[in-house]
Amino acid sequence: MTRRSIEWLSRAADDPALCHMTWMDDPRSPYLLAAGRLFDVVATDHRTGMETVDQLRLHGMPVGPVMADRAAGRIGFFLPAGSQERFEKSLARETDSPSAYRFLGHGSYVVAPGPMALTGDRFEWLNAPVRPQHGSPLQVVSLAVMFAAAGLLISLADRYGQETSHARR
């Protein structure tokens, strides 16, 4: 993670100076940040989130910062602040029944990994921020499209698994 991204993320804390100092003392330390100030977060279950990340990367689409909460089994996608309407409209164009997710915007908080979280830490960056988030409509739309595609892929895989297990009996 770059110094610019650490400074950017710490500005989302209620006390940015304390957050920055905490991360300088212990770069693995997670920290509570306010969503909606500088970024929004789309949170989903681990399986859907990981498939979404894989599809974004596979298709060369913008991924943006992505974090994992291993204990809760959740994946969080960071988007530019104020992205909820664009994300939800884009998702509605792709599917009538999206996978479960929670949109964290103004008034919500997220526990973000420290800038140097390690594999195996409860909170970990799957794709760390490298620069401040700006209003990229492509990132928001790409996430909505691949989130819908991941949900469909998982549904088809589960249905296939059920059909083949019934056929073996």
User: Other CB atoms closer than 10 Å to residue 154's CB: what's the count?
Assistant: 16
Please tell me the predicted confidence (pLDDT) of residue 166.
57
Cα-Cα-Cα-Cα torsion 122, 60, 80, 109, nearest 10 degrees, comes to -10
Which of 78, 73, 48, 80 minimizes the C-alpha distance to 63?
78
Task: Give the mean pLDDT of 30-49.
Answer: 97
Q: pLDDT exceeding 70 applies to what percent of the chain?
A: 93
Residue, of 118 and 86, whose pLDDT is higher: 86
Helices (H), 40-122: 46-58, 84-94
pLDDT in tens, 108-141: 999 999 999 888 899 999 999 987 666 678 999 9
pLDDT in tens, 51-80: 999 999 999 999 999 999 999 999 999 999
Cα separation, 77 vs 45, in Å, equals 11
Does residue 167 surpass a pLDDT of 60?
A: no
Does residue 142 surpass a pLDDT of 80?
A: yes
Angle at which helix 137-168 crosses helix 84-94, to 10 degrees, equals 40
pLDDT in tens, 6-21: 999 999 999 999 999 9
What is the overall mean pLDDT for the chain? 92
